[in-house]
Structure 1
Amino acid sequence: MSIVFGDYTPPKKELKTNEVIIGVFFDGTNNNKNNTKAKEYYDKRARGEKLTPKETISADAYRKNGRDKESSSYYNAWSNVARLSDAYPLNLTTYIDGIGTETEKADSVLGAGLGTGFVFSGTGILDKVEEGCKEIVNNLKRNSISEVDILYLDVFGFSRGAAAARVFLDEISQKAYPLSANRKNKGGAMGYYLAQKGIKVDLIKVRFLGLFDTVSSFSTLIDGKPNFDNDTTQLPLNNLGKAEAVMHFTAADEHRNNFSLTTTNVGKTREFPGVHSDVGGSYNDGIEVVKAIEKNFKEKLEKLSDKLVDSAWYLKDQLEISFFGPKHELKGTRNLKNSYSYIPLHFMAEAAIEQNVPFDNTKLVIDKYNISSNPLLVRVKKRLHKYVFENAQPYTFKWYGNIHEKYKGVKDGDSRFEAYQRELQEQKDLRTLRNQYLHWSADSGSLGMEPTKDWKRKTF
């Protein structure tokens, strides 16, 4: 016999639904929108504003687990994956904390550093894939759905979260998953949790896979030099055929040694100016200090300084050469804005909406991440839109001398003059963008952030 206190509400009748749509969002390494909110609640309380009981718990979690760790997930802005999840219908959203993080807990050094998590944290790539499977099933259960003819999934990921999204597609494509010694169920971990909850799904379809700069960086060895070059043999990253459409946005200027790009073998890939989190989001506005762009002899650093100024990454007074021995170090300091990352955000939503993904585009483009009052970003967005959606040439850095040579002899009134001026303006805009918006992520003075030897990104 059951005992019920207060008003009795009978259990909801479970719906038998033909088709269900769920958005699945795998956040990046050290990205966690809930932890970012926890810091906001703490700051709100510090200003004397009143918090709800739930907000108070979050604020206390930040005080305990993140306040003294400025490199933690609590200090990051929302990534583009988090922003997209916020514009998806709430009851259909499955958001998975970024690799190395758990909501309102301390970040995991192993999870963030190696992408595995091991048994110590449960925050690695494979852990997040299983968590995604489990949470999707919980989402169905919360909505009292017990039978589904077709389950449509819209899947998004950034950084190692993009790697998790790709492994997730392989997982739900598995033919069998061992439930016990004598019984198996189709659908990998997803099939396991569906069976556990008594939910019947006849068919799973992935309508859209949206990826921001896939960096798998996965190692099962705990040492100072993890091997991130063999990830495609350790993880099933390329079984993407289940997705009806794939869009992958990558970072043209990323060149950290531990941030190799795992390319996709299907769908569309578009390369954006900027580094990893310029494309995937999560930078805050503010001062960026690169302690050691390079360590070298003073004469070589002076030449490098000139090169960085000529290519518009820095102004002369933003660079400083110091000697700490045995070599000099080139330090860079700039005040940067984060709003350029809204452009790939807008484009990912646009590409997804074309595949019937139910984003609230007004919330993304107008209400929260509006760039319409910024003439530079409006022009940059227009130029990149032609590349992403209309197959124009990529937006890349060009030397002015080469442009003048290309249009040598062209004068006002000539048929090519308009194209000449447009190309010059695009390059002027790109130089401003580099200096005021695009970050320099590689840092020889920061463990794990060192550049590749030739400053060129490794791809797999």
Structure 2
Amino acid sequence: MLPGVHSDIGGCYVNNNEEKVDLYEEHENDGKNCERFRNILIEEGWYKPEEIVVHKFTYPHKYGVNTKYLLVGTRRLFSTYDKISLNTMFHYSQQEQFGVKYEQKRVNKHKISDVFLTEIYNQLKNYMNACSILRNTYIEEYNQSNSSGDYLSKIKTLHYEDFVDLEKLKILRNQYLHWSASATKTGYGPRVGKVSNAKERTRNIQYG
């Protein structure tokens, strides 16, 4: 339930498992872009300084030496962030317009027990509710005029960072959120391949 975050509800992640990711690769500039990206990810809370390093590799050949710089992050993560996504689905699907019914014992089985995640969930729910309220306002307008007006521009002004305590967001990123993109694995490349901050490293978000 965070833009750009991969959360596997099926449970394929192992709790407290080590995640090692090649985050950025460059072959020139003395690894300066790797260092810039490293500083960004530390500032945003994804990694502690000791968890993210730039490696230098040299490959001699008969015409000289090729050099590669690789930014690598290594963390141990909790696998329980999926509870937020699952409980969000419970929350919205049980609303009157959808009318989905669940056995209460099954809902209770999947309640969030982590105090920290409960706090994050409540903060994110405020963000999601704000999106829903805005969307519902424009649904009424659309039904009357067959036009969504400026809905898309309005919904993009709502950003989850405005609803979540930023220091807690850093803890969430560092301890719970998996980094699914890889700079070196085929098919796993990041959508934004340049050095950029979190607001620019977003996937195609279906706003609202």
TM (normalized to structure 2)?
0.67
2:179 counterpart of 1:440 = yes
What is aligned with 1:362? 105
Asked if 1:287 is matched to 2:52, the reply is no
- Alignment pair present for 1:380 and 2:120: yes
Residue in 2 aligned with 1:346? 87
Q: Secondary structure at the match of 2:179?
A: coil
Contact 2:78 2:175 in 1 (8 A): yes
Distance 1:459 1:381 in 2: 19
User: Residue in 1 aligned with 2:76?
Assistant: 335
| Distance in 1, Cα, partners of 2:81 & 2:73 | 20
- Superposed CA offset, 1:135-167 (max 9, x none): xxxxxxxxxxxxxxxxxxxxxxxxxxxxxxxxx
Query: Which structure: larger Rg?
Result: 1
Matched-pair contact (CA < 8 Å) for 1:349–1:361? no
SS at structure 1 position matched to 2:165: helix
Q: Which residue of 2 aligns with 1:301?
A: 34
Q: Which amino acid in 2 is paired with 1:359?
A: Y
- Residue 212 of structure 1 aligns with which residue? none
Contact 1:323/1:329 (8 A) holds in 2: yes
Count of aligned residue pairs for this structure pair:
160
Q: CA deviation at 1:429?
A: 1.1
Instruction: From the superposition, tell whether residues 390 and 302 of structure 1 become closer, same or farther in structure 2 (CA, over 3 Å).
Output: closer
SS of the residue 2:174 aligns to: helix
- Structure 2 contact 80–176 (Cα < 8 Å) conserved: yes
2:160 alignment counterpart: 395
Verify the 8 A CA contact 1:442 1:449 in the aligned structure 2: yes
Question: What's the C-alpha RMSD, in Å, of the aligned pairs?
Answer: 2.6
Long gaps (5+) in structure 1: 1-248, 254-274, 399-422
TM-aligned CA deviation for residue 281 of structure 1? 5.6
Give the whole-Å Cα distance in 2 for the aligned partners of 1:434 and 1:337: 11
- Alignment of 1:315 with 2:37, yes or no, is no
Matched ranges for 1:13-412 at <5 A: 251-253=2-4, 275-277=5-7, 282-285=12-15, 286-290=17-21, 292-296=22-26, 297-325=30-58, 326-354=67-95, 355-364=98-107, 366-367=108-109, 369-372=110-113, 374-391=114-131, 393-396=158-161
How does the TM-score come out when normalised to structure 1? 0.32
Separation in 1, partners of 2:205, 2:129? 24
Letter in 1 for 2:84: I
How far off its partner does 1:458 sit?
4.7
Q: Give the conservation status (yes or no) of the 8 Å contact 1:443–1:450.
A: yes
- Paired residues of 2:53 and 2:72 also in contact (CA < 8 A): yes
Separation (CA, whole Å) in 2 of partners of 1:347 and 1:458? 20
Q: Find out whether 1:431 has 2:170 as its counterpart.
A: yes
Structure 2 residue matching 1:327: 3-state secondary structure = strand
The one-letter code matched in structure 1 to 2:82 is S
Q: State the alpha-carbon separation in 2 of the partners of residues 361 and 298 from structure 1.
A: 54
TM-superposed CA distance for 1:312, in Å, is 0.5
8 A contact 1:293–1:332 mirrored in 2: yes
Shift of the alpha carbon at 1:276? 2.6
Q: Report the Cα offset of residue 316 of structure 1.
A: 0.3
